[in-house]
Amino acid sequence: MSVSHSSRLNKLVREQYMRLPQDGRVQVTYVWIDGSGEGVRCKSRTLDKEPKSIEDVPEWNFDGSSTAQAEGSNSDMFLVPVCMFRDPFCLDPNKLVLCEVLKYNRKPAETNLRHTCKKVMDLVKDSHPWFGMEQEYTLLGINGHPYGWPDNGFPGPQGKTQAGVGRDVVDGEVPTCPSLPVHLLPLCSGNSRWARVKALRWGITCGWLGSSCTVSARTLGLWPLWTPNP
């Protein structure tokens, strides 16, 4: 099976609850990189009012032993908010917040490479370095097989999918663009996306900004694709 059971549920039930008034309260989703250095985790909390800047978002904590970031005997980890964006899934006024991870002693976690990157970029900020990124990914079913491929075989010869059409899932990036940083927009000058040679493989380029900004935004841009839960 390539799709989850939840994909067959009636999504109108969720929409009914999402339309309920929030009475000024805001749901903030904290996102961070786990102990693998690649996987992305998240959890949400409710704030009494909408944060206007990243300074308005409080630090939080989590059990690092469950994310391969700490021993079970001393597992407290801190989530330090560093970037805040509008939430394209829970919608305004809710927020997505990218966090750095600190250990119990307030030192950066081993996979918190953003911390070191930002320190280096701050040293050369007067030189205004620019960076661009290209990210490729393949859409997989829950069985780990490329979505849409034959169950017991392979698609036809390469070439028909390069820069192809018929991209319902990938076009879902476009409605999120007003919420995520402008330098992620595939439709902006210097940014692009296209279907690759392998079926269900896509590429997106983004830039050009300082490295910590570009990497932070790209992490949030890929978070929905990395999230393992349906």
- With a CB cutoff of 8 Å and minimum separation 6, the contacts of 222 are 40, 135, 137
Residue 51: its pLDDT value, please?
A: 97
Q: What is the predicted pLDDT for the residue at 186?
A: 41
Return the higher-pLDDT residue of 96 and 158: 96
Q: Averaging pLDDT over each range in 1-5, 137-141, 162-166, 211-215, which range is the top one? A: 137-141
Evaluate whether 191 touches 224 at the Cβ level (below 8 Å): no
Residue 26 pLDDT grade (very low, low, confident, very high; cuts 50, 70, 90): very high
Q: What is the mean pLDDT of residues 183-208?
A: 53
Residue 31 pLDDT? 93
Comparing CA positions, the residue from 16, 171, 184 lying closest to residue 86 is 184
Domains observed in the chain:
5-114 (3.10.20.70), 125-226 (3.30.590.10)
pLDDT classification of 215: cutoffs 50, 70, 90: low
d(CA 170, CA 190): 19
Give 74-107 pLDDT, tens digit per residue.
999 999 999 888 888 888 999 999 999 999 999 9
pLDDT score for 200: 64
Closest CA to 194 of 185, 206, 202, 183: 202
Helix spans in 45-136 (H): 113-123
Q: Is the pLDDT of residue 9 over 90?
A: no
- Predicted structure pTM score: 0.76
Mean pLDDT of 150-179: 60
pLDDT in tens, 54-78: 999 999 999 999 999 999 889 999 9
Name the 3-class secondary structure at 166: coil
- Report whether pLDDT(227) > 60: no
